[in-house]
Structure 1
């Protein structure tokens, strides 16, 4: 008899826990979709007028907030910046030369990545989807697809992008972007561009 009583108590507690999680979907959501380095993201987003949720979504897709990740192609840090791209950014943004050697640091990587996103927004007329295509496949490829009419720069027509990796990348970033906006809108700060 004690065994069945324990099972009922356990089942009731489990049921109450599940009800609590579904009742408090925000708690469950923030547990499933955490954002790390919020302060660095907020500061860099403000500095370069870039949407903080977009930075967070890119970091989630690129490294899942692991600052030590390096890609097979050599991309470094949270936002997976290629060394050549980082060097170009350092020259254009007039950062100190030592910046390139500090890309493993989350604050530096996010700052440089936010500057780069701002640059891409300027190059692609504030088209967020084209910016993501350029971030993943390179601005030259994105520009070529847009200017030749292969792709119109919309999320609706990303199936026209010739690179499957880029199509998938855009979909994943936008998935996390939408989750973050829904869960953290009041905490991370105002959205921009």
Structure 2
């Protein structure tokens, strides 16, 4: 209570009305579930027909559960790459947060042969998200530089780029690092491959020139773009989410993507998943949306730092969420934001935003911005 009283006094002394200050404590903390019921389709998979999408997801999930069970089923997400192959008997799981690659198989005959192929496929999977179907067991065409190149080193400390080295490393892993565990009624064979300590930096370096170009094009700071990418996807080019968001900056085609096409690109429609899985187009689109937030939706926010915090929060929870943090009336909300100091705006958005996810989001992004400027990203 003492902390609350002190904060109330500071806000009142800064010029905020008592009505506004009291409203900060009356915001509903209930989290809004913004996630769609079904996973989004990936490139080349399906039409816009919802029933067809439901059938796709149900079929895929059913196949995964049939081979791996309910408790061991994994599906690709924002910060993890998951790809099934070999009739759903084998899978690759890249955990970008833990920095760990797990390749495993539940094949009952010649499991080591199945595992070797799965390991080699994982190591050689190309840096081309549009060419890999994450929601089936389809084979991957192995050409071009692998997307894990330099993030994983073999037993000789060498990066893996060619088939012969991938197979040699697979043989080593099976001979020296093979593990087993029970999955339902069957035995799973697997290996764990640690990623290099600076794997996040390795991925981020690949996009340096793209980030630089987008920053210059739209006048958005590079550190902000990097921080958003790290928060949204941990620099996973295969990132997908239940919110129908795609790629490095997790752009949602129907909202941010459509706005960028209409207001910046001056064309109709919305970006396709294929479009957003292209790193250059994804970063361009995500950065362009910040341009829209700054110059259109939040242009009335006068203090540059307050605007900065509001833009970050709006990228995750929408402009409406930012304004509702202060008042249900847009004009009064803007007036309240402009009466506050930037640190007070930050406090409100990280403590009183209607969505818990958005409250955490602003904290994460500003933390990663600081780390970028300290050379940690």
Computed over aligned residues only, the root mean square deviation of the Cα atoms, in angstroms, reads: 2.6
* Alpha carbons of structure 1 residues 120 and 95: separation in structure 2 relative to 1, 3 Å: same
Aligned to 2:147: none
**Cα deviations by residue, 1:90-130 (Å, 9 ceiling, x for unpaired):** 01112566871211100001001111011112232341111
**2:358 counterpart (166, 169, 174):** 166
Aligned to 1:31: 198
How many residues matched? 156
Aligned to 1:136: 316
Q: Determine if the alignment matches structure 1 residue 77 to structure 2 residue 247.
A: yes
Query: Which of structure 1's runs of 4+ aligned residues deviate more than 3 A?
Result: 30-33, 95-99, 146-153
**Cα deviations by residue, 1:61-88 (Å, 9 ceiling, x for unpaired):** 1001112111111111111111112022
Aligned mates of 1:41, 1:114 — CA distance in 2: 9
The alpha-carbon deviation at position 143 of structure 1 amounts to: 2.4
The alpha-carbon deviation at position 142 of structure 1 amounts to: 1.5
* Alpha carbons of structure 1 residues 32 and 174: separation in structure 2 relative to 1, 3 Å: farther
Aligned mates of 1:40, 1:143 — CA distance in 2: 32
Aligned to 2:292: 119
Aligned mates of 2:278, 2:266 — CA distance in 1: 15
Aligned to 1:8: none
In structure 2, runs of 5+ residues without a counterpart are: 1-196
The answer as to whether partners of 2:247 and 2:279 remain within 8 angstroms in 1 is: yes
Aligned to 2:263: 92
Aligned mates of 1:99, 1:144 — CA distance in 2: 27
Q: Determine if the alignment matches structure 1 residue 40 to structure 2 residue 210.
A: yes
The 3-state SS of whatever aligns with 1:183 is: coil
Aligned mates of 1:166, 1:117 — CA distance in 2: 16
The 3-state SS of whatever aligns with 2:271 is: helix
Aligned mates of 1:67, 1:77 — CA distance in 2: 5
Higher RCO, 1 vs 2 (CA within 8 Å, ≥6 residues apart): 1
**Cα deviations by residue, 1:44-70 (Å, 9 ceiling, x for unpaired):** 011000011100000001001112111
Q: Determine if the alignment matches structure 1 residue 63 to structure 2 residue 254.
A: no
Aligned mates of 1:128, 1:119 — CA distance in 2: 13
The answer as to whether partners of 1:53 and 1:177 remain within 8 angstroms in 2 is: yes
Aligned mates of 1:76, 1:95 — CA distance in 2: 21
* Alpha carbons of structure 1 residues 98 and 144: separation in structure 2 relative to 1, 3 Å: closer
Structure with higher Rg: it is 2
Q: What TM-score do the two structures reach when normalised by structure 2?
A: 0.38
In structure 1, runs of 5+ residues without a counterpart are: 1-29, 186-193
Aligned mates of 2:362, 2:199 — CA distance in 1: 20
Residues 152-161 or 62-71, more deviating: 152-161
Aligned mates of 1:180, 1:33 — CA distance in 2: 12
Aligned to 2:73: none
Q: Determine if the alignment matches structure 1 residue 156 to structure 2 residue 347.
A: yes
